[in-house]
């Protein structure tokens, strides 16, 4: 059985994961309209993954005797002025999500909810990967600079990583 504090915090994380999915979806739509097929493919895939993360939390809360709440979401506010700006926002968002997961772990440990602590370890590992991927993408964008040919190759690389199921940091 979940404590009220844990249930409330998990419900907030459900919203965070849903917002993450929306952010990736908004970025995917923008990239697709701009003709960046690889980046769009990557972002659509990431959006689906974030939704799966949300659903995993919903199921967990309900299975532990709680009630998962699906709340309304705000439209993502993103700056599309450059790829670097876009992916910097993405990286910063992933750092924020990691902090939110860490807060959940702290609540679980403080409340001696070891089942939830165990459940959350998957999210801790996942966030390490998410941050590393966003950072690797930013590093690649720094290497490219303003080179249009480099951006074209980068877009193609993103498509390959998305379709192969491999992470860009591999």
Is 131 annotated to bind a ligand? Reply is no
Residue 145: left if φ>0, alpha if ψ -120 to 50, beta else—which one? left
* Integer Cα distance of 87 and 90 in angstroms: 5
Radius of gyration of the chain (CA): 17
Contact 47, 25 (CB under 8 A): yes
Tell me the C-alpha to C-alpha distance, in Å, between residue 27 and each of 76, 95, 143: 9, 17, 21
Is 17 annotated to bind a ligand? Reply is yes
Q: Which residues contact 84 (CB under 8 A, 6 or more apart)?
A: 138, 141, 142
Contact 91, 131 (CB under 8 A): yes
Is 166 annotated to bind a ligand? Reply is no
Is 32 annotated to bind a ligand? Reply is no
Q: Which residues contact 156 (CB under 8 A, 6 or more apart)?
A: 38
Is 93 annotated to bind a ligand? Reply is no
Which residues contribute to the annotated binding site? 17, 50, 53, 94, 127
Which residues contribute to the annotated binding site for Fe cation? 17, 50, 53, 94, 127
């Amino acid at each position: 059985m979940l404590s009220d504090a844990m249930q409330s915090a998990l419900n907030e994380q459900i919203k965070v994961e849903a917002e993450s999915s929306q952010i990736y979806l908004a970025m995917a739509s923008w990239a697709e309209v701009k003709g960046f097929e690889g980046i769009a493919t990557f972002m659509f895939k990431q959006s689906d993954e974030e939704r799966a993360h949300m659903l995993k939390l919903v199921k967990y809360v309900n299975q532990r005797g709680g009630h998962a709440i699906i709340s309304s979401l705000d439209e993502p506010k993103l700056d599309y002025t450059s790829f670097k700006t876009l992916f910097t926002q993405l990286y910063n968002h992933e750092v924020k999500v990691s902090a939110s997961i860490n807060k959940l772990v702290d609540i679980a440990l403080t409340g001696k909810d070891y089942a939830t602590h165990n459940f959350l370890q998957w999210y801790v590992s996942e966030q390490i990967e998410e941050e590393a991927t966003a950072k690797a993408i930013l590093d690649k964008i720094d290497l490219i600079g303003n080179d249009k040919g480099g951006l074209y190759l980068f877009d193609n690389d993103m498509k390959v990583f998305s379709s192969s199921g491999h992470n860009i940091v591999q």
